Amino acid sequence: MFKALLVEKDEGGTVTAAVKELSEADLPHGEVLVAVDYSTVNYKDGLCLSPNGGGLVRHYPHVPGIDFAGTVEESSDDRYAKGDKVVLTGWRVGEAHWGGYSQKARVKADWLVPLPEGLSTRDAMAVGTAGFTAMLAVMALEDHGLTPEKGEVLVTGAAGGVGSVATAILGHLGYQVAAVTGRPETAEYLTALGATRIVARGDLNETVKRPLESETWAGCVDAVGGDMLARVLGQMKYGGSVAAVGLAGGAKLPTSVVPFLLRGVNLLGIDSVLQPFANRQRAWARVARDLPMDKLSAMIQPAVLSDLPRLGADILAGQVKGRVLVDVN
């Protein structure tokens, strides 16, 4: 028997989440059984834990947790053997499939990535999907020609999970990082991570009035979307790129094509869920190399399974700072 956070729906449609004892026979099919060490709390986990499952969870009872890291216990797939350290993000695990808020998980071998040298299961979940996606965003900006000499890079939603890791990675790589936050009290935290300038959310989340403003940012990692992304597009330097990661401020993009046509701005879509294996491996190796572990420690808020219903609501309210590290044991 082992413990998991089980979300159940009663006949009246009321959804409740509680830590329950499960057996291996309760787990779904898959080639690899993993003893989970850590999971975390991402924005999507907040949605999955919400009363209607955020439109993502279709079947109850359900075990949420969109990512986890742990040790292989059994594998019928040659790529993995007992004792291997692995990480899982994406593939709709924790949404359509049972996820990481559990001491054991059974999953497809295709969904796993072996942990790179130098990264523990604890480090991997301190990074989590949010941090892994921040790394994908930085890689996409680099692939489109961003270098530190090109100028300041903007990070929106900077005190959140994606933003905190993006700030730390970019700072470590020698970039000037302008961090946008709606929480002025996080300025010291962001500066310690690597931000060289703090930008107030209010300066950027007004509706676009002019399609082009002065050329300010060489690149941007955007976790917010909506009006803020629209404003940022008009402030990009000639040929600069924005990596669109999230929608914490809205899914709409109320802008025009002018920044693309007159300034050659690139809008790069970042998806972490269906990334091919080779790129996942490349991103985790880059995390191990380019994210200083002391910076990672400063971002961590520890938690246990029973804290998750509260933390799910907090992340949807934009109240989680940095990364939550869930010790499921």
Footprint of ligand NDP on this chain (CB under 6 A)? 42-44, 129-130, 133, 157-163, 181-183, 201, 205, 223-224, 228, 245-249, 270-273, 315, 318, 320
Nearest approach, Cβ of 218 to ligand NDP (angstroms)? Answer: 21
Which one, 103 or 272, has the nearer CB to ligand NDP? 272
Residue 156 Cβ vs ligand NDP, minimum distance, rounded to whole Å: 7
What would the DSSP string read from start to end of 292-305?
-HHHHHHHEEEE-G
CB of 309 to ligand NDP, least distance (A): 16
Beta carbon of residue 202, minimum distance to ligand NDP (angstroms, whole number): 10
In whole angstroms, the minimum distance from the beta carbon of 82 to ligand NDP comes to 30
**Smallest separation (angstroms) from ligand NDP to the CB of 23:** 32
Decide whether 27 or 287 has the Cβ nearer to ligand NDP.
Answer: 287
Nearer to ligand NDP, 157 or 234 (CB): 157
Burial class (CB in 10 A: 0-12, 13-18, 19+), 249: buried
The residue among 27 and 136 lying less far from ligand NDP, judged by its C-beta, is 136
Q: Residues 6 or more apart from 292 whose CB is under 8 A from it?
A: 168, 172
| Residue 285 backbone class (left: φ over 0; alpha: ψ -120 to 50; beta: rest) | alpha
Identify which of residues 240 and 249 has a Cβ nearer to ligand NDP in the complex.
Answer: 249
Least distance to ligand NDP from the beta carbon of 90, Å? 7
Nearer to ligand NDP, 42 or 103 (CB): 42
Torsion of CA 140, 146, 147, 152, to 10 degrees: -110
Neighbours of 268 (CB within 10 A): 19
Pairing of strands 32-40, 323-327: antiparallel
Nearest to 33 by CA among 108, 90, 89, 116: 108
Between the alpha carbon of residue 261 and those of residues 48, 150, 241, the distances in Å are 39, 20, 13
Which residue, 42 or 241, has its beta carbon nearer to ligand NDP?
Answer: 42
Closest residue to ligand NDP in the complex (CB): 160
Least distance from ligand NDP to the Cβ atom of residue 158, Å:
5
Looking at the Cβ atoms of 24 and 188, the one nearer to ligand NDP is 188
158/308 with CB nearer ligand NDP: 158
Contact 103, 3 (CB under 8 A): yes
Per-residue buried b or exposed e for 97-130, using 16+ beta carbons within 10 Å of the residue's own CB: bbbbbbbbbbbbbebbbebbeebebebbbbbbbb
Residue with tokens 């080779």: 278
Q: How far is the CB of 74 from ligand NDP (least distance, A)?
A: 29
In DSSP notation, 204-249 reads T-SPPSSS-----EEEEEES-BHHHHHHHHTTEEEEEEEEE---TT
> How far, in Å, CA of 242 to CA of 180, rounded?
14
∠ CA(227), CA(228), CA(229), 5° rounding? 95
